[in-house]
Each structure stands twice: as C-alpha cells, then as structure tokens.
Amino acid sequence: MNCIYKLSKLNLLLGEEQLSELLQINVKTLRNWLKEETVPKEGTVSAKLDQIYLSIKLPPLDHSSGFTFIDLFAGIGGIRRGFEQAGGECVFTSEWDRFSQKTYKANFKDAHPIVGDITKVDTSLIPDHDVLLAGFPCQPFSLAGVSKKNSLGRLHGFECNTQGTLFFDVERIIDAKRPKAFLLENVKNLTSHDKGRTFEIIKRTLTEKLGYKIFCKVIDANGFVPQHRQRIFIVGFRDDVAFTWDDFNHPGKGSVLMKDILHTEDGTEQPEPPYTYGKKATVEQNFIISTKLWEYLKAYKKKHEEKGNGFGYGIVTANDTSRTLSARYHKDGAEILVSRGQGNNPRRLTPRECARLMGYPDSFQIPVSNTQAYRQFGNSVVTPVISEIARIMKPHIVSLVEADPSTVKETSAIWLTA
C-alpha cells in the first residue's frame, strides 16, 4: 500500500501533532511529506506506520483485567475512570478535540494512540472488546442546543447532519463488534426531544435492530457531588442478565455541599498555582469577576425577575448545592458564582474546583488553559456516578465474559478506504 496513502489516513485519524510525535518528527516535516507526497526511506516510514496502525488495532492487553472496553467520544476520560475502577481495561480511545486529547493523555498512559474523527474509522480498525462506552455529543438534544439551532434556523437531533448523527456511528460499531454490554450517556432532554420521537428511535435501534436488552435511567448527580446535574444513562446487554437499576446506590441529595469542593483558603490546602497562592492557598484575584460584569449580571437578573422568569446568575455559599456546570462557564461563570460576602464581588470557580465538582480527584492533571479546562469539565460526566453504574454492571459483564471468553486474533493491517 502506498506510504503517502497510509500517512494521510493516519494523519486524518490521529491528527498531525500526535502522528508527528509517534513518528518522532516535527509537524512541519509531516506537512512537507504530505504536501510533496514523498517521504525519505519509504520502507522505514511504512514500517513505522504499520506499527502505529497495529498499536490501534491490537493494543497490548493486561489479561488480569476482568473485561475490556472502548472509550468513544472520550472527552477527558470521565466514563473511563469509573470502568477502570471496576477492573476494566481500555483498548481503544476516540476523541476528536485536540485540547481534550491533551488532558486525556496527561492522565492515561496508553500504548494505543487516540483516534480522532470516529466517523472516518472503519470498524476493522477497532479491537474486539467486551464493553462499549460512549457519551455521544449531546448538543443536538440539549435544551440550550435545540434553542440555539432553532434561532439559527438549523436542524437538530437526527435531522442535524453533524453531531446528531454520531449516534449512528455508535450503532455501526455495536453492530459490527457485538460487545457484550454498553453504556451510553446523554442529556436528560434526549428523552423529550422531538416529542419523544428521537429517544424512541434510539431505543428501537438498540433493541429491535441490534437485539440488545436495554435499561434506561435519568440520574441526578446531586449527592455524589454538590451539583444538580441530570443525565440519561442507557445500559445495554447482548444477552439476558439480571441487571436492575434497583442495585444503584444513591447517597441522597445534599450528602455533599459546596464546602466539600471549594478551596479552604485557610492553609489546610497546599497552594496550586495558577489557581491558589501563598501560605493560605488563597484563590487568585483573576477569578474574582469585575465590577462591570457584576453590575451587568445583577441588572440582567433583575430585568428577567420583573418579567417573571428565573434567568440570571446563580450565587453559592459553602452550604449550598450548585446549578449544572456547563461548557459555557468560561464566558462569565454566571451559573455558579461563589459568594465572597456582603459588599464583595463574587468569584468564579477555579478549574480545580470544577474538577472536584465533577468528582475528579486532586491528582487529576489539568494541562490546558482555564478556558479549555472550563469547557472540558462542563462537558464531562460526574465520575462517581459512572463508578456506581460500573459497579452494578460489572458482575453481569464478567459473567458474560466467563461464559464466552473473548480472544484477540492477529490480523493483517487493513487500511481504510478513501
């Protein structure tokens, strides 16, 4: 197979930064190879490309793990964390956003590279696996996403020709690989989008077309973390199992409060630049919103209160539960502002506090800018919720694995078609 063809396909799948790193060349050199359609020592480069391909297709496995899984629309790995804690091993990752890839790679040391655009991936490239995990993009179904697309005169849901159709890539992979189980996650509004027709299409696709038994539940993360955050989870099994959501243990709303995730600012935490500084680990001044923005937010809220609706900022204290953290938090932080007492401008959460609000430990690395970090945590899942779902799924997954142990077979590289 032509070396440039292999190079261009892997560049499409992995992105030029990641592919350059794997080839041990700089991005400029890669771009020149692709532009000039020639590479030095083609045989050597071709062998390296085959090796990279096989690292995606046949990653080394730790056979002591209870089951294997793939991580689609992986974000920063929130769903993965829960299933690794349950004893699973990730054998394939797909995430298109390069900033999310950076955070993912900083926290998970894999032998397999991160594949970018899943729509370009032939299923022959995806390793066999026991469980498929996918938090497929939710903007076409979220209340904010539908409102925005309507205002722009754009289609949404399954009529959206971009993100909305990504569910069908999940379907395509499930159909081809037949995993023993899957977990899909989306916004609560998925159940009511298009008067429920969208969700019915998804359920019929999973059950009637693909033949899986599914179990759906809307879960509010309030209690796992101090945040009101409702999401729909769809658990599916290829064969009959005794799975039930009754086994799901919810700690109860209000079990944890904002004081459990806010910086203490009293010296009991180590300072973490650029979020906190000094002996008391005081929050940096740049997280305090400006007087101009504070006056605007107060006026905006007052205007909508006079109209009888609840639009406007949200203030939290140590003993509160917050609103839902969104990907737009980087814009003004209005949905979750931390009170600094009477007469003082409130502040935004720091990215570390956002990580805690989503259930990530302080050991989780944040190698990106504040703007990108806010987007990533706003788009993430609440990891303790996933851990609990993984816990109740695990015995049924393992029983299916033991009844039908999977094997990884050596295959020759099958290159993608144009």
Of 3, 90, 138, 354, the active-site residue reads: 138
- Please give the structure tokens belonging to residue 98: 């390069």
In the block, which residue shows the tokens 């945040």? 227
Backbone phi, then psi, for 117, in 5-degree steps? -75, 105
Query: Does residue 160 have an active-site annotation?
Result: no
How far is CA 382 from its chain centroid? 10
How many angstroms separate the CA atoms of 100 and 185, rounded? 18
Q: Do residues 98 and 150 touch, judged by C-beta distance below 8 A?
A: no
How many angstroms separate the CA atoms of 46 and 149, rounded? 44
Which DSSP state fits 230? E
How many angstroms separate the CA atoms of 314 and 296, rounded? 14
- What is the per-residue DSSP string for 244-275? -GGG-----TTSS-GGGTS---SSSS---TTT
How many angstroms separate the CA atoms of 349 and 357, rounded? 10
How many angstroms separate the CA atoms of 277 and 262, rounded? 15
How many angstroms separate the CA atoms of 300 and 135, rounded? 34
- What is the per-residue DSSP string for 111-137? SSPEE--GGG--GGGSPP-SEEEE---
Q: Do residues 295 and 280 touch, judged by C-beta distance below 8 A?
A: no
Beta-bridge partner residues of 281: none
Active site residues: 138
